[in-house]
Structures are given as C-alpha cells and as structure tokens.
Amino acid sequence: MRKDLAHGRPPNESVIRIGLDAADAVRHALLARPAGGPVAIVADQAVVAFAGRIAHTLQGSGIDARLCTMVADERAKSLDTVGSLAAQLLAHGITRAGVVVAVGGGIVGDTAGFLAATYMRGVRCIQVPTTLLAMVDAAIGGKSAVNVVLRDGSLAKNAVGAFAMPELIVCDAQAIATLPPREMLCGLAECVKHALLADAGLAEWLAANAMSIMAKDTTAVHELVARAAAVKVGIVDRDPTEQGERALLNLGHTYAHAIESRHDDRIKHGEAVAIGLVAAMTVANRLGRVGVAQVEALRALLERVGLPTSLQDLVPVPDPAATLRRCMDHDKKRAGRGLVLVLPEGDVGAGLVEAPPEDAVMAGWSSVGAA
C-alpha cells in the first residue's frame, strides 16, 4: 500500500508519505529540493543503524549528511539537549539553508522538530518516525516541544514549544521492524483516541486486526497509519495553531501527562494515554455526556488490544489521587480559566469542558485505581 496525505496550508504545507522506503523517500525529497549545505540527521541512539542507512543513501547521491544522536527518554527531551544538538549542528556547518531530518519516535521528533524550528530562527525539517505512535500522531501537525524539570523533580510536559510544519513525514513499516511490542501498543493507544474522536469504524477495525498489527504485517500497519493519520490531518487542517478544535487531540492527555510527570521512568506515553482515556470517559459519564456502555466498550477495546486500563496494571503502588490531581494544574489548556478537560461526547466526538466538577475529576482518578 502506498499513499500520500497532504495537509497544511501554504506556505506551511506537508506531505505524509505512507508505504515507501524511508531512505529513498528522503533522498528523492532532498534531490528535488536540495539543502544549501550539509543535512543533519538527528536520530535516536536505539535506531542508529536505520538512521545510518538513510545517511548512507543520501551520501551515495552526493548529499552531505551528518549524523547526530540522542537518548530517547523524557528527561532528555529538554532545552539542554536542544542546546547540545545546536552546538553539533554549528560544528558540522549546518546553515540556515540546511535541513534537519528527525529519525526516531515522539521524543526525538519533538526535540529535533523544536531544534529545526528554532535553530537560526528556523530551518527545514523532515520527520522519519520509527514508532507507531509517532507515525499516527506525534510526527503530524507541526507541533514540537520539550519538557521542563520542576523544583520537585517532576516534569512539566511540553512546556516550551513551537509550531513549524515538517515538509515531509515518511511512514515506512520497515522503520518499526524491531520495535518492541510495548512500543507498538503505545501507538495503538493514540489510534484508539482517534477512533473516539472521529472514526467509530476504526475501533471495530482495531479490535479485528490487533494481532496482524502487533505482528507488524506491512499491509495492516500501513492501513492503520493511513486511517489514524487521516483523523489527525483533518483536525489539524481545520485548526493548525490549536485555537479550538485541535485541542480535542488532547483527549485523555491531561490525565496522561499527570501520570507521566510522576511515573515517567515506569509508564510510557501511550500507556498513560490509554489510562487517561478511561479516566476521561468516566468523567464524561459522570457528566451525562456518554453512557455506561461506552465506558465499558472502551475498557473492552483497550483490553482486547493489550493496553492497560488501570494504574495497577503498571505500578504496584500508584500515587495518591490528590497528588496526581495537583499535577493536572500544569496543563497548558488551563489558559487562566482553571482546569479544562477534553471529554468524549455522544457515540463519537469530544468537546472542551471548563472547570469540571472536582468530584467528577476525582472519579476519573478513582476509575483508574488512584487512591
């Protein structure tokens, strides 16, 4: 399966290329629109061999490619790392006419994307996601950000960021050939989120094809990426700078980011999102936006594909609900209005709810095992 999804608006247009060899796709893009000097490939250390093949392909076509690596963990997604990478780009002679090629999952995509958006006030960027989560969500839409470590040691997730659309996103199933099952599941969590937002049929398809996806069947993976990415593209194109509808893509994320801020060493983003979706659906039920059957259906779907639905699935002793509730106050959607949650509504769709009742918010935490 080969498919292109175009999104964005001039001059910030982007193409998502699904089903092509990543190295060839990047090479063709840089031959069609050459960089003015060396190209920087910023890669996750865990996929350095895959990134090296891209660099070798570019060099074979006369493109000067320089490989930089980083550790892909939440504490490395920081301004310190951006500064270190910027110093490497300067040492390699990357100019304002250069290109940053991000090769990795969401952490590398965010960090390298923010680097590209700010280095010399902005250079071109190509994203080559190597996780399912990044293919269906993190790499799409032009948002990039890094975390800030707070005084208590917790993380303010994505506290410093920018909007800058990558010119190309290459989704190649070969890029996830060695991806661990746990990371595959993290991508499925974002796909479930997209199904809740805009594609009810995707939920049924996920349940039926979970085994093929986890086995990394190329056809199934590319179809999943095309369907899930189309949901995000539709929303982003209607609201590119998150003034309204795009905020709905944060469904489950206010709870998820609170969980990650306390358990970033034990709980992965997709796992936190899965738990956050259950919490958000529970709050929606308490407020009469969805029925009990929808809460149960979500739990069943997550369990069917192998995702957690409770904190106890991942940590022996979860943080107290009151502690996790305080972490929610760092959420960017607050905007001076108090807590704002994205909550499901009806059979498919979601909406923003400002200052939801505290008992409903805490019911969300209780539903996922926070004491």
* DSSP code string of 19-32: SS-HHHHHHHHHHH
**C-beta atoms surrounding 366 within 10 Å:** 13
pLDDT of residue 318: 85
10 pLDDT tier (thresholds 50, 70, 90): confident
Active site annotation includes 253: yes
Give percent above pLDDT 70 in the chain.
98
pTM of the predicted model, to two decimals? 0.90
pLDDT digits (tens, 9 = 90+) for 47-95: 999 999 999 999 999 999 999 999 999 899 999 999 999 999 999 999 9
pLDDT of residue 332: 61
Residue 234 has pLDDT above 90, yes or no: yes
Active site annotation includes 271: no
276 pLDDT tier (thresholds 50, 70, 90): very high
Which of 250, 263, 268, 330 is an active site residue?
250
Segments of the chain assigned E as strands: 3-9, 12-18, 39-44, 65-70, 99-104, 124-129, 143-149, 155-163, 168-171, 340-344, 350-354
3-9 and 12-18 beta bridge pairing = antiparallel
Active site annotation includes 183: no
Tokens of 76: 């490395």
337 pLDDT tier (thresholds 50, 70, 90): low
pLDDT of residue 232: 96
Tokens of 219: 């056809």
Active site annotation includes 143: yes
Active site annotation includes 204: no
Which of 74, 190, 260, 271 is an active site residue?
190
* Alpha-carbon span 268 to 257, nearest angstrom: 10
Query: Helix and strand tally (H, E) in the chain?
Result: 13, 11
Ranges of H-type helices in 239-311? 253-263, 269-286, 292-305
Residue 335 has pLDDT above 60, yes or no: no
Average pLDDT for 21-40: 97
Which of 27, 124, 194, 253 is an active site residue?
253
More confident residue, 249 or 7: 249
User: What is the overall mean pLDDT for the chain?
Assistant: 94
* Domains of the chain, earliest start first: 3-179 (3.40.50.1970), 186-216+238-367 (1.20.1090.10)
Going by C-alpha positions, the residue among 169, 306, 156, 313 that lies closest to residue 233 is 169
